[in-house]
Amino acid sequence: MVRFMLKAKSYFQNFLKKFKASLLTPTLDQKIRYFNIFKTLAASLLAIVITCFILIFASKSPLAAIRALIISPFKSRFWVGEILRAFVPLVFTGVAASVMIKCGQFNMIGEGSFYIGGFIGAIVAIYLPIKGFGGVLIACLAAVAVSLIFGLVPALLKAKLNVNEFVVSLMLNFIMLWLGMYFLQTFFRDEASGDIATKIIPDENRFHTLLSGTYLSTGLIVAVVIAVLAGVFLYKNKSGFIIRTTGENPAYAKYAGLGVTSAVILSQLLGAAISGFGGAVEVLGGIEGRFNWKALPGFGFDGFIVAILAGNNPFLVPIAALFLAYLRTGAVLMSLETDIASEFIQIIQALIIIIVAGQAFLRKLKNRILFKSEIQSEEVKA
C-alpha cells in the first residue's frame, strides 16, 4: 500500500513537473491548445457579461436576477445536486455528438435515440423478471440495441448511397418519437395514472441515489466513465484513429486505405448507442420513476452545444457539460426567484456558440502569440 502511494506520488509529481514546464516554456502546439481553452473561457465569460447587461433592461430587479443566475446554484446541497443531475444527460449526448463530429458526420440522431433509449430502458426495467444490477444492465443494453437499429438507417444510407445524414437523422427523430408514443399509448400506458406514462419502474431496477438530500443518481458515474472510455477510444484505439483521420480529411483516409465506409458507419452507430444509453440512464435515475416523455427531450441538440464547447474532445466533454448544467440550473433558479423566464438561458447559449465558433474572435491575440514564438525560435536557431 505504501509503495503504491509512493508510486502514485511520484507519478503525480512528474505530471506536475511536465505541466509546469508546458506552462512556463510551452511549445507552439501547446500554446495553441492553451489559447483555444482560453478562448472558450473568454467567450463564455463575455457571453455571461452580455447576458447580465441584457438582464439590466429585461428585469425589474436585475441584481437579484444576476445573483440568482450566478450564485444561487451553490446556495444549498440540493441545488448542487440539481447541477449534477442536469450534467448527466449532457455528458452522454455531448460525447455522442463529439464521436460523430470527429468523423465529420453531422448526425442529429442523438435526439431521437435519447428518447427511444429512455422508453426501451423503462419498459425493460418494468417488465423484466430479473431485478437489481442485472436488471438495470439488461435494460440499458436493450436501450442501446434499439438505438443501434435506428442508428443503422442514417449510417448505412450515408455509407452506401451517400445520403446526407443530417437530413435523414432529423426526419428519423420524429419517426422514433411517434413510434415510441404509439407503443406507449397503445400497449404500455398505466391506466391508473392520469398522465400518458408507463407504470412505475421497480426500485431495484433504478439507479441509486448518489448524494443524500438530492435527486442525483449513480448514473453520474456511468456518464463520466463513458466520456473517459470514448476519449480513450478516439485517441488511443485504431478504429478511433481511423474515425478521426476520416473526419479531418476523408479523401486522405480513402487514399491511405483506411476503410472510410466502416469508420463512417461506426461513428454514427456509436453516437446513436451512447445517446440511447444516456436516455436509459436518465429515465432509470429520474425523479418521476416512470417514462412520460411526450416530446423530444432536447438533449440531443444540447449535445452539439456541449461538443462545440469541448472542441469535440470527449475528455473535455464533462467540463463543458458541467458549465452548461450550472448555467441551466442558474436559469431555473432565476425563474423561481425573479421575473425572468428560464428560457432566458437560450440567449446565453446562443451567445457562447456564436463567439466560440467565430473564427475571428481573439485572432489578433493568437497571431501575436504565434508570431512571437516563431521569431523566438528562429533566433534560438540562429
Partner 1 sequence: MAMANVIIKMQDICKIYDNGIVANDNAFIEILEGEIHALAGENGAGKSTLMKILYGFEQPTSGKIYIRGKEVKIQSPFVANSLGIGMVHQNFQLINELTVAENIVLGKEISRFGLLDRKKTREFVEKLAKEFGMEVNPDEKVGNLSIVQKQKVEILKVLAKEAKIIILDEPTAVLTPQETQELFVQLKLLRDKGHTVIIITHRLNEIKQICDRITIMRNGRYVGVYNVSDVSEEEISRLMVGRKIVRQVEKKKTFPLDPVLLVRGVSKHVGEKKLLDDVSFSVRRREIVCICGVEGNGQRELVRIITGFDKDYLGEVEIEGIDIRPKNIRQIRDLGESHIPEDRIGFGVDSLGSIAENLISTSLDEVFKNGFIDKKKTLKIAEECIQKYQIKCKHSLQKVGMLSGGNVQKVVIARETKNPPKLLVADQPTRGVDVGAIEFIHRKLVELRDEGSAILLISSDLSEVFSLSDRILVFYNGSIVANITEPEKLSEEELGLYMLGLKKDGEIHA
Question: Residues in the site for partner 1, rule: CB under 8 A?
Answer: 27-29, 32, 236-239, 241-242, 244-245, 248-249, 251-259, 359, 363, 366-367, 370-371, 374-375, 377
**What DSSP character marks residue 257?**
T
Nearer to partner 1, 195 or 374 (CB): 374
**What DSSP character marks residue 208?**
P
CB of residue 110 to partner 1, shortest distance in Å: 24
Closest CA to 170 of 186, 161, 157: 157
Nearer to partner 1, 129 or 257 (CB): 257
d(CA 78, CA 54): 29
DSSP 285-319: T-SSSS----S--SHHHHHHHHHHHTTT-TTTHHH
CB of residue 306 to partner 1, shortest distance in Å: 21
CB of residue 337 to partner 1, shortest distance in Å: 44
C-alpha cell read off for 236: 488511443
**What DSSP character marks residue 129?**
S
CB of residue 274 to partner 1, shortest distance in Å: 19
CB of residue 312 to partner 1, shortest distance in Å: 12
Nearer to partner 1, 164 or 237 (CB): 237
Contacts of 18 (CB under 8 A, 6+ apart): none
Nearer to partner 1, 10 or 367 (CB): 367
Place of cell 442514417: 154
Nearer to partner 1, 14 or 237 (CB): 237
Nearer to partner 1, 78 or 371 (CB): 371
d(CA 261, CA 157): 11
CB of residue 43 to partner 1, shortest distance in Å: 17
Contact present, 34 and 26 (Cβ < 8 Å):
yes
Nearer to partner 1, 212 or 359 (CB): 359
d(CA 319, CA 91): 9
CB of residue 250 to partner 1, shortest distance in Å: 9
CA 64 to chain centre: 30
